[in-house]
Structure 1
């Protein structure tokens, strides 16, 4: 099975419950870089099978926007629903990525990949337990096709004995831990959702903090939060032009057989190139 789309941007990721067709359809048209349809926390125990069938039908019938990514958050591997979730999604070509909750080991991702069979979907690891944070390096080094790691503040906060809605500065140590592991393995790092649904000063401050911390994007719970989030994670024109000049200088040096490149008074190396490519990815989505 061949996926219809392989996006790279996840500036604004909208999560939507997987039990109501109208909300799913509306979310898919809301303009987020990625929509995550939730079969886990948002769905009651006695509605799991019904929600799964609904999501599969909606995605099969969807006339999708190729500029947007579609992901589904399945139930955790320790539950009785995970295998059925992944088996059903393995037959859906419109699926780009699977979000696996409560990932605590690289083996969790490998097992999810096995259950997806030959489907080309990538995986995303939701980090929401102390063990997941502790073993984040191993998780990011998995042999499974891991595209992103996402911090889940609600469950993680409960496990740590702290409120999920503490000021973002109180999460800095964990954010840095996850971000460093992701960057070392070339995996995107996405900040988890703020539990409020308003696009207010508190929300904007949290989005700004996540972007300054180095994250690639943030989950949001309401379509009204998409524009603010996408704008925050989109580099400004000056940064874009600087990134293009850096990569052009490196390409020119390579063509001339030079081991180093220079742009004005700046010596350029691969680290500078990585940063420049990330800027263009956030701008152009490729």
Structure 2
């Protein structure tokens, strides 16, 4: 069963009532934000609230709860790490990740899975290094608004190549497909769907979101349709019949060629069709969350 969420719902850590609503909203993962959404004067309160939420979680809570910490090397980031080390958190989202040594230190200090957000030219340039920096790196992705500003490019067309690079770096390191960056126009679900479909087609899986009303459109796009599931099951049946004959490839009933690459893709479709499970704190390598 996949442990890779389709939706990652950000919620400001200092807004206790919003955190409670986010946890009940139905997202696959909730990300308590200690960074951009929290004013400087509220950082301590947000951190304390995040710790309280984590400490109060039932051991069998099926939801994934992550925390976006402040950037490594900052005072706020150091305080976040000290407060969260050893807590029952499903992982940390790390903004402005650009130094593999800092990533290794963070992993060793916290023992938590890490999702690295590449938001600078330096981080993007070192994407493959960062992806392989430590076994607790569970994923990499882009922080597109910050990255576009640093690269001096348009966020839409100007980041096309960067998206391809981060997809390739993640997969080369054996990580799951990257999570797609936020669609900020909460009032435009059609735009959310269209750009999510584009993201899925170009190698992303799942999306960061900023409002509960974005959950359903993202789940709609990132959940394989019944037709896709049926086609994948047909591929596996064809492959099984071919294997019984001692063959590694065959034509299915529609005359389509089925080889090991097609079979691997079909298995990924079926894996993604299942509801995501919460990863065990002492479970398998986080790199095993998504089939090639």
* TM-score, structure 1 normalization: 0.85
Structure 2 equivalent of residue 103 of structure 1: 97
Of the three residues 191, 203, 214, the one matched with 1:202 is: 191
Cα distance in 1 for residues equivalent to 2:260 and 2:136: 24
Cα distance in 2 for residues equivalent to 1:20 and 1:65: 25
Whether the 8 Å CA contact 1:191–1:218 is kept in 2: the answer is yes
- After TM superposition, give the deviation of residue 62 of structure 1 in Å: 3.1
- Is residue 19 of structure 2 the alignment partner of residue 24 of structure 1? yes
- After TM superposition, give the deviation of residue 22 of structure 1 in Å: 0.8
Structure 1, unaligned runs of 5 or more: 1-5
- After TM superposition, give the deviation of residue 251 of structure 1 in Å: 5.3
Of the three residues 258, 271, 274, the one matched with 1:284 is: 274
RMSD: 2.4
Equivalences, count: 273
Cα distance in 1 for residues equivalent to 2:236 and 2:102: 37
Structure 1 equivalent of residue 6 of structure 2: 11
Cα distance in 1 for residues equivalent to 2:271 and 2:9: 19
Aligned positions of 1:79-90 closer than 5 A: 79-90=74-85
- Greater RCO (Cα-Cα under 8 Å, separation 6 or more): 2
Q: 1:64 to 1:170 in 2, by over 3 A?
A: farther
- Is residue 150 of structure 2 the alignment partner of residue 156 of structure 1? no
Cα distance in 2 for residues equivalent to 1:222 and 1:156: 22
Structure 2, unaligned runs of 5 or more: 277-292
Structure 1 equivalent of residue 217 of structure 2: 228
Per-residue CA shift, 1:132-179, capped at 9, x if unaligned? 11111222222332222221112112112235xx4x344211111111
Per-residue CA shift, 1:178-227, capped at 9, x if unaligned? 11111222323111102222243333322222122221011111111110
- Is residue 126 of structure 2 the alignment partner of residue 135 of structure 1? yes
